[in-house]
Amino acid sequence: MRAEPGMIEAEDVAKSFTVRKRSGRLRRTRTTLDAVDGVSFTVRRGEFVGYLGPNGAGKSTTIKMLTGILTPSSGSLRVCGLDPARRRTELARRIGVVFGQRTTLWWDLPLRDSLTLIRRLYRVDAAAHRTRLAELTALLELEPFLDTPVRQLSLGQRMRGDLAAALLHGPELLVLDEPTIGLDVVSKATVRGFLERLNTERGTTILLTTHDLGDIERLCRRVMIIDHGRLAFDGGLDRLRATVGADRMLVVELARPGPPVVLDGIEVLRTEGPRQWLRLPNAVNAAAVVSALAERHEVRDISLREADIEEVLAGLYRGDHAYWCSGRPVAP
């Protein structure tokens, strides 16, 4: 055995579904849909990893395989050293899962009762339960609504309740499927702050899927991006920017409209009246470009834009790299 096995080890994991489509009055054709198409990665103990991708990319399918709900069609998968589909029950006692759009809580009963049932479900002893519940109550600020029926909770309160439910048995790994979906700014901040502490102070490994870029920028040191069932990127946020979005953009407003400016190694992406959008590769010194521009043209205004993570992702999902031009690439 290796000294430090990964918390999650996926090797060439694939999942395909057979879909029947109506192709005539009675005829149905079977097609195979590759929801996840050969994904390999390792998540080490203590990591906080963002798992991103557009809708239908295969994120939820991956999570369902990680939690043992779905069996991979091929490849090998180990979570906490276990085969999830075969040892689902054992694994469930060691991991916590939050499906942001669904709830493990009982609608008609107070939150406290749901948490009591979860203690029975995971066979947590009374003393450990008391300690953890007190801790989670304080961190997630559950006290004001512990005795309120879940039906009456706001979405933010319910989500905090669900987080508590997923953590009552002290899991080593927490898998979160869009935990901040639909939350307001304050609730998001509470949830993010909590997750950050859980990861840094407790060392709980966290895998997070989200469409919320604030979550990623605030929490994830590493991101994996899945698209069309394949892993399109795996690395740090900085490297993500460098890989697909290293180029910055210089927006120049000249004194009067004119033909695109000519500078070595600079491409003009777009012109609009006196304004011009220039692509600035990372290797080019921005100051030198600015002074060269000022020498040759009368410049009114100038601004430099770093590609932000949202545009980087949008570009990546679309499969083009002209993301920094507000989604309007220049016609050739």
Partner 1 sequence: MGVYPWVAWFAFRRYTAYPLGSGAEALTNTVFGFIRASVLIALWRARPGLGGYDTADAVTFCFLTQALIGPVQVFGGMELTERIRNGDVAIDLYRPTALQGWWLADDLGRAAGSLLLRGVLPLVAGALVFPFHWPGPAGAAAFTVAVTLGVLVSFGLRYLVTLCSFWLHDGRGMDAVALVLSLFFSGMTVPLVVFPGLLGTVARGLPWAAQIQVPADVYLGKHTGTGLLGALAFQAVWAMALLAAGHVLTGMARRKLVIHGG
Which C-beta is closer to partner 1: that of 17 or that of 320? 17
Least separation in angstroms between residue 164's CB and partner 1 is 15
190 binds partner 1 (CB under 8 A): no
Residue (100 or 315) nearer to partner 1, CB: 100
**First vs last Cα of the chain: how many Å apart?**
56
Question: Is 108 a binder of partner 1 (CB under 8 A)?
Answer: yes
Q: Which of 6, 50, 53, 68 binds partner 1 (CB under 8 A)?
A: 68
Pairwise CA distance, residues 137 & 156, whole Å:
14
196 binds partner 1 per the rule CB under 8 A: no
Listed in order, strand segments (DSSP E) in the chain are 8-22, 28-43, 48-52, 74-79, 95-99, 173-177, 205-209, 222-227, 230-236, 248-254, 267-272, 275-280, 299-305
**How far apart are alpha carbons 193 and 218 in whole angstroms?**
9
CA distance 156 to 185: 10
> Cβ of residue 84: shortest distance to partner 1, in angstroms?
10
What are the Cα distances from residue 144, in Å, to 42, 106, 135, 154? 40, 18, 15, 12
Percentages of the chain per state (helix, strand, coil), in multiples of 5? 35, 30, 35
Q: Is 51 in the site for partner 1 (CB under 8 A)?
A: no
- 99 belongs to the binding site for partner 1 (CB under 8 A): yes
Distance CA 204, CA 47 (A): 8
Is there binding between residue 82 and partner 1 (CB under 8 A)? no
Q: Which of residues 11-30 bind partner 1 (CB under 8 A)?
A: 17
Residue range at the interface with partner 1 (CB under 8 A); choices 118-126, 183-191, 265-273, 293-301: 118-126
Q: Could you tell me how many helices (H) and strands (E) the chain has, helices first?
A: 10, 13
Among 9, 41, 67, 163, binds partner 1 (CB under 8 A): 67
Site string for partner 1, 140-159 (x = CB under 8 A): ---------x----------
Which residue's CB is nearer to partner 1, number 16 or number 246? 16
Residues that bind partner 1 (CB under 8 A): 17, 55-56, 60, 64, 67-71, 88-90, 92-93, 97, 99, 102-104, 106, 108-109, 113, 116-117, 120-123, 149
